[in-house]
Structure 1
Amino acid sequence: MRASHVPITLQLRDQLQDILDSLGGFGPEVWLSLAFSGLLVAELLLARSGNPQYTRRWLAVLSIGALLIAGAWALWQPLRGFLFLHLLFLDDQAVFFKLVIIVGAVAVLAYEAYGPAERASVSSAYQLPPEWYSLLLALVLGLFIMTMATNLLAIYLGLELASICSYLLTALTTTRKASEGGIKYLLFGAVSSAIMLYGISLLYGMTGTLDITSTVFGVELAKNGTVVVALAGLLTLAGILFKLSLVPFHIWTPDAYDAAPVPVAAFFSIGPKAAALLVLMRLVSALPGELQTPLAVVALASITLGNLSALWQTDAKRLLAYSTIAHAGFLLVGVVAFNESGFQAATFYVATYLFINLAAFFLIDTFAQSTSGSLKINDFAGMGADRPWLAVAMTVVMLALTGLPPTVGFTAKLLSFSALLQAYQTTDNPWLLVLFGLGVLNAVVSLFYYLKIPYLLFFKVRTRTEVVAITPISQQVLIGVLVAPVILLFLKPDWLLQLIAGL
């Protein structure tokens, strides 16, 4: 009897040792968990001061500090490899995406905390309660887990943590619009999660494992019919498509973005998408190539629907919401190529999209400060004369979203479609050629709504009589820091491409 217990004891001991050893690669996530709890306590203590502005400034400083420590820790931690019995996998690629998420989170925190103090009085949509700082850290924690997840269960848990925080952040303000947007986000998220779980159960039933890096996973999938495997794979991808705002899981996007305050919507447009992109690339690498055609159809539908819907928008934030749907389709173009150059192009796209989209959201919010909080596009008419520097920055950003030189948006689209064309020459899949042709045509269509804002800024007469609000220097500097890489990375894309190639 004693001898029969020895192997079990050794096995449990080895498992425990693996878990303890894995903590060395899980430091940033542990730190974010502690920072989340610490911020809740700090909020209670700072609230005693009776000065809401003082409380918010200190919470912002603590949040930014916690995120910077997490980013530095992730960058310089020496441990690489599998963690927690192959639940997670830490490599340079995961670290790169973590840094993209950190930069986005720090930017929105800095913008929200150090913008004009009178902004909250302009519109109730700006009245974010202090809890949003801790919720943002919890959201970043969920995204961090997603970047390392190589087990279907870990992918789902990270996705759900990020989703729950996103629902709360959308509905955190006191407006009716926020409540409606949060409920719609929750309902569509619950449906996509249920579909994803069903797909995971099918894959587990076919393979007997949840580890997508296991050789057993690929061997067992190959024993099943291609239609069955493709269907199970698409069902599993539902949660990822939801986070990327891809058709048909895009319906929540305009309402959620419209309901959420600008800093929250700005982070939604980049943070969850970056983590979901890495998960998607890992999943399609583990699943059979039969998913290429369905994903090409999804990309084409997202690009077309996003662009055509954006054409009719009169609200700048809803326009950017539909724009993110279209750009999610462009982001998927590189993944659809199913080759290394395509994955690198998608990574380059999301890294540069970080600067472009954050700058776009911050700029429309800055112009709205002179229109009593209105984000109606027509209300921006004539503001170029009052704020020439910001109007020029807006023009650069809109050119980048369109994909025109001299901006990095052109480079990102060029790399993605080049990888797609290379894939077509290899596979002769006609859907790739259709995606290539209609995708380029859609980029032309987007000219009509992206360049409408610069046209109104410079060539239309100001119709509103409000006094132009003074934009704080800190806010202008932040926008300038975001816009500069949009030009610099067009001139020197190798700076980023060489880094991505070495991941």
Structure 2
Amino acid sequence: MSLSDQLTDILNSLGGFGPEVWLSVAFCGLLLAELLLLRTDARTRRRWLVGLSIGSVAVAGVWSAVLGARGFLFTHLLFLDNQAVFFQLIVALSAVLVLAYEASAYGSKDQPTINRLPVEWYALIVAMTLGMFLMTLSVNLLSIYLSIELVSICSYLLTALNADRKASEGGIKYLLFGAVSSAIMLYGMSLLYGMTGTLDLTADNFGIGLSQQDAPVATVAMLLTLAGLLFKLAGVPFHVWTPDAYEAAPVPVAAFFSVAPKAAAVLVLLRLVSALPVDGSSGGTTMTVLQTPLAVLALAGILIGNLTALRQTDAKRLLAYSSIAHAGFLLVGVVALSPAGFNAVLFYSATYLFMSLGAFFLIDLLARSQGSDSLSISQFAGLGSRQPLLAVALMIVMLALTGLPPTVGFTAKLLSFTALFDAYQRSSDPWLLILFALGLLNALISLVYYLRIPFLLFFRPAQADLPAPTPLPRFAVGLSVLLALITLLLFIRPGLLTDWIGGL
């Protein structure tokens, strides 16, 4: 392609790149606004920054939804399709909900100082959202790597944002594990480039080059490349950072980590798997050879997440190991390697947004109702009678995370495991059957720790020296309860999502 053709392609691509340009400008604008508002009082400064950050992310999400342009951007570096828009909406919605919750729960007049986040977090959330928007568009190994690194750098900063020892320790651990996974991913990408001669996942040469390799060799290269994605998914074996980072980070940050990076990473994973050739030179097809390792990783994530969560005494660490288990459940649909499985992944990603954010927000509010920033599980004993609305909403969300009716968590797991069983009937791979059986069994195991907090809320006496309940911001309470109600609504009307996903 000549230089003039490249310039023309770049100019034409800007029409489909509007939301990302907007987020870049918004990030710079928020940094400038922080400087311009230095002389104002803290409450006014935060009010402006909250409004600007929520408005910026919301505009980007709406812009992405109404954008009519579809196709390749910047000479096949990026690809804008309906699936990318779907995941961008998930990312934008999660960012708006987290920002709105932080502004209400952490900025109320009754609790102005508990765990207050530095003002820099607003710009970092917007920058992290930009990185995830780019991840959803990436179909080139170079753009995939750069967008993942942008998300990772923002994640490290957000984890260590508070100036205390725990935050610094969590941020350093996050950084070290991120550096290792990034190095492994780069090595895998270099192998893929050496085998195919291209970085473009959509190029014919990519599939042809892999098909000319022995399937196990190509599979090893793909698994090494998946290291960075498994890191963002909190998937085994790159999950070790998760409990420390979640515990160190403030609740809004940990809630955002649990949803948005997973959504962006799972789409990149789907694109990588879809780029695999269906014909290999030996040892079976490259795509089907990758199926067994993915099944093992999914099963390991489910087992490690659930079994380790049983021993946790801190609510944020419990939700961190729950996040590891749900990363395994997300992989179940990918393992199916079928359109039904991929659609199940989309449905799971969208519904996990409401379940995970609801759990973090409700647990945080229950702790705040006692005037405490501690999230020890034992402190929730007897709070059901003092905060019945929050307690019932939390029980609904925990049932959804378990995967029990009448919540959408049941529907999400049903779709995933149905696709997995269909894949087993086609391939007769014993690992798929093992994943199917143990995955369903782990749904029952998770019931033990998911219902531990509701059990304490309703069936254990409150501590004798509990202080009078602290007033909670109505908006934060209403938002958290609304998330719980959505998990019920989507169980009753799953077509609200499945019809949309089917048309992507």
Give distance in 2, aligned partners of 1:449 and 1:487. Answer: 21
Amino acid at match of 1:499: W
Matched, 1:284 2:266: no
Amino acid at match of 2:121: W
Correspondences of 1:92-171 after superposition (within 5 Å): 92-115=82-105, 116-122=108-114, 126-171=115-160
Q: CA deviation at 1:480?
A: 2.3
Q: TM-score with structure 2 length normalisation?
A: 0.96
Matched, 1:501 2:497: no
Out of 41, 47, 68, the residue aligned to residue 78 of structure 1 is 68
Correspondences of 1:322-361 after superposition (within 5 Å): 322-361=321-360
2:279 maps to what in 1? Answer: none
Contact 1:303 1:329 in 2 (8 A): yes
1:439 maps to what in 2? Answer: 439
Q: CA deviation at 1:127?
A: 2.5
Out of 254, 257, 260, the residue aligned to residue 243 of structure 2 is 254
Amino acid at match of 1:208: G
Give distance in 2, aligned partners of 1:219 and 1:449. Answer: 47
Give distance in 1, aligned partners of 2:116 and 2:249. Answer: 11
Correspondences of 1:63-462 after superposition (within 5 Å): 63-115=53-105, 116-122=108-114, 126-287=115-276, 288-289=286-287, 290-369=289-368, 370=370, 372-462=372-462
Give distance in 2, aligned partners of 1:12 and 1:38. Answer: 32
Q: Which runs of 4+ in 1 moved over 4 A?
A: none
Q: CA deviation at 1:482?
A: 1.3
Give distance in 2, aligned partners of 1:374 and 1:380. Answer: 10
Give distance in 2, aligned partners of 1:179 and 1:322. Answer: 21
Q: CA RMSD in A?
A: 0.9
Matched, 1:36 2:37: no
Contact 1:337 1:423 in 2 (8 A): yes
Contact 1:371 1:379 in 2 (8 A): no
Identity score, percent: 64
Q: SS at 1:47's partner residue?
A: coil
Q: CA deviation at 1:221?
A: 0.7
Q: TM-score with structure 1 length normalisation?
A: 0.96
Structure 2 unpaired stretches of 5+: 277-285
Contact 1:349 1:412 in 2 (8 A): yes
Matched, 1:58 2:83: no
Amino acid at match of 1:448: V
Contact 2:365 2:477 in 1 (8 A): no
1:48 maps to what in 2? Answer: 39
Contact 2:110 2:471 in 1 (8 A): no
Q: CA deviation at 1:303?
A: 0.2
Q: CA deviation at 1:261?
A: 0.2
Q: CA deviation at 1:371?
A: 5.1
Cα deviation digits, residues 212-268 of structure 1 (max 9, x gap): 111111011111111110110000000000000011000000000000000000000
Aligned length: 490
Q: CA deviation at 1:484?
A: 1.8
Give distance in 1, aligned partners of 2:384 and 2:47. Answer: 31
Q: CA deviation at 1:118?
A: 4.3
